[in-house]
Amino acid sequence: MKNKESLILLSSFFYSFIVAFSVLDYIFLLPLGIVLFSEKKNIFKIIKKLIFLNFFIIVLVIFVYFQNPQNALELLIRTNLILLFNSTLFHKSKGYDIVRGLDNLKVNSKIISVFYFTLILINYLRLDFKETRNTLKSRGFKNNTSMFTYKIYGNVFAMIIIKALKKSEDIQFSMQARGFKNKIYFLNSNTINLFEHILMGSVIMIFIKVIYELFG
Amino acid sequence: MSCSVNLIEISYSNGKDKILKDINLNLGHEEKIAIIGSNGSGKSTLLKIIAGLTAPSMGYVELFHNKIISLNEFKKYRRDIAYLPQDVTNHFLCPTVIEDVIFSLRTRGDSEESALKKADVILKDLQINHLKERIIFDLSGGEQKIVALAGLLILKPKILLLDEPTNALDEKSEQKIIKILNSLKKSMVIVSHHKSFIESLTPTIYKLEDSTLEKLDN
């Protein structure tokens, strides 16, 4: 393993896997505590994001609650542990480090390229959406439950799709002109610091504990 | 003067609309020409035809005296032709400056070490060495244009095709691009709206109007 991105990616994968499929334990709070400590300055932003994501989870939890309250509580705890761990770990990430991590883990180059260009297109769409929202505001558009509002939203949605198609066509031209052969070449940073070592160590520790409890 | 690009009776239609009609153009060795024209006049399409990205409906392109019939035949000249799109963000295929600059070398088989050495030289020449580790999409428009130019020039192409290279740039960035382009001894086709920018690069100006190309008098 050469770079910290792949180490973080592996920590994320193993932690999420362990929390999702094993008996809940207080030790799961250890890696979470480590990542939260490393991002202590941004903790309120992360919690805000977690609360927002919980709006979606809570609907699912309510459904499960009527069938089995114990399962509903476990579902809520597990999803929140995983979400909080990952959103803290990737708080500053723009997605490129994930691609870099995948590259270092020797994932197929075609899959990495697809992942990378999807990420780029999502970023463009996000920017486009933001700009369109500002345009709607500046042109005095007020959304309400009228046919006009639905029509405008339909137009905006269609325009964003057309722009995305145009963008992909232009990127394809660039790929042709620059001799793209299904592979992006990344440079490895080779900078694994104490934080990544401690984090990976704690994830390995809970992994060993879970395995020991299963077979020990 | 030997000829780099020769356009012979090029026409291009997009459905019913005839965008280019019987275009003939010669681009000599290390000659710089500029193409001006109103929005939607077909300047970018013409540049894409020269770059081998779009096939003309009629006519053909000659590259270094070789007749090119299909887009596939452009493949062997890709290293010699560098194309900068109008929206420079479409040019980038890698996240950081250094990764994108060395991309074309790596994809053509250069080792990482050799590509990095060449990139160091070009980044120093263009005075953007300090941007090396930055994420491209966080850079300003002017910086992005220069980074894109570095990515093109690293291959030492014989022909540069630039679509609106100073589009939406401030005066300082524009002057920097002019300085870089004037220092290059390469065949160039520059498409732009900015007359002052074009005049500071070349006296050979063509105007694309009503689907035809006309050379403007000095």
B62-to-B66, B69, B185 alpha-carbon distances in Å: 5, 9, 21
pLDDT by residue (tens digit) across A115-163?
A: 999 999 998 888 888 888 888 888 888 888 888 889 999 999 899 889 8
- Cβ contact, residue pair B99, A170, below 8 Å: no
Q: Say if the Cβ atoms of A94 and B53 lie within 8 Å.
A: no
Q: Is the pLDDT of residue A52 over 90?
A: yes
Q: In angstroms, what separates the C-alpha of A171 from chain B's closest C-alpha?
A: 5
Contact list in B for residue A181 (CB cut-off 8 A) is: 107
Do B163 and B76 reside in the same domain of the chain? yes
Q: How far is A162 from chain B (nearest CA, A)?
A: 16
B212 interface with A at CB cutoff 8 Å: no
- The helix or strand, by DSSP H or E, that contains position A86, with its residue range, turns out to be helix A69-89
Name the percent of chain A lying above pLDDT 90.
Answer: 54
**Residues contacting residue A1 through CB under 8 Å, at least 6 positions apart:** A7, A10, A104, A192
Is A176 in contact with B81 (Cβ distance < 8 A)? no
Q: B95 and A96: CB-CB below 8 Å? A: yes
- The shortest C-alpha distance from A161 to chain B (Å) reads 17
Domain count, chain B: 2
Is residue B174 domain-resident? yes
Q: Among A74-78, A201-205, B12-16, B198-202, which is the least confidently predicted range? A: B12-16
Q: Which chain B residues contact residue A170 at CB under 8 A? A: 85, 87, 90
B60 shares its domain with B97: no
The structure's pTM equals 0.83
Q: Of B106, B10, B70, give the one whose Cα is nearest residue A179.
A: B106
Q: pLDDT tens across B86-122, in order? A: 999 899 999 999 999 999 999 989 999 999 999 999 9
Q: Are B107 and A167 within 8 A, CB to CB?
A: no
Distance of CA B38 to the CA centre of its chain: 19
Is B111 a domain residue?
A: yes
Minimal CA–CA distance to B211: which of B50, B2, B9? B9
Q: Kindly report which listed range (A70-79, A138-147, B46-55, B134-143) carries the lowest average pLDDT score.
A: A138-147
**Alpha carbon distance A58, A3 (integer Å):** 37
Confidence of residue B172 (pLDDT cuts 50, 70, 90): confident
**Shortest Cα distance, chain B CAs vs residue A127, angstroms:** 12
B13 and B67 assigned to the same domain = yes
Task: Tally C-beta pairs within 8 A across A and B.
Answer: 68
Cα torsion for A24, A30, A36, A39, to the nearest 10°? -140
* Chain A closest-CA separation from residue B199 CA (Å): 27
Mean per-residue pLDDT, B141-168: 91
Domain carrying residue B37: 3-80+157-215
Length of chain A (residues): 216
In a domain, B33, yes or no: yes
Q: Mutual orientation of helices B97-107 and B112-125 as an angle, nearest 10°?
A: 130
- Tell me: do B134 and B161 sit in the same domain: no
Co-location of B163 and B203 in the same domain: yes
Query: Quick one: pLDDT at residue A190?
Result: 64
Q: Note whether B135 and B41 are same-domain residues.
A: no
Count other Cβ atoms within 10 Å, centred on residue A152: 14
CA A46 to chain centre: 13
B141 and B184 fall within a common domain: no
Flag whether B135 is in a domain: yes
Q: Where are the domains of chain A?
A: 4-93+191-215, 101-178
Q: Which two tokens stand for residue B148?
A: 């894109």
Quickly state the pLDDT bin for A2 (edges 50, 70, 90): low
Q: Provide the pLDDT confidence category of residue B161 given band limits of 50, 70 and 90.
A: very high
B123–chain A Cβ distance below 8 A for any pair? no
pLDDT tier for residue B3 given thresholds of 50, 70 and 90: low
B81, B99, B137 ranked by CB distance to A185: nearest: B99
CATH number at residue B173: 3.40.50.300
Provide the b/e sequence for B163-194 (b: ≥16 CB within 10 Å).
bbbbbebeeebbebbbebbeeeebbbbbbbeb
Whether B85 is in a domain gets the answer no
Kindly report the CA angle at B103 between B31 and A109, in degrees rounded to 5?
145
Pairwise CB contact (< 8 Å): A177 & B53: yes
Average pLDDT across chain B, whole number: 91
Residue B87 contacts A where some CB pair is shorter than 8 Å? yes
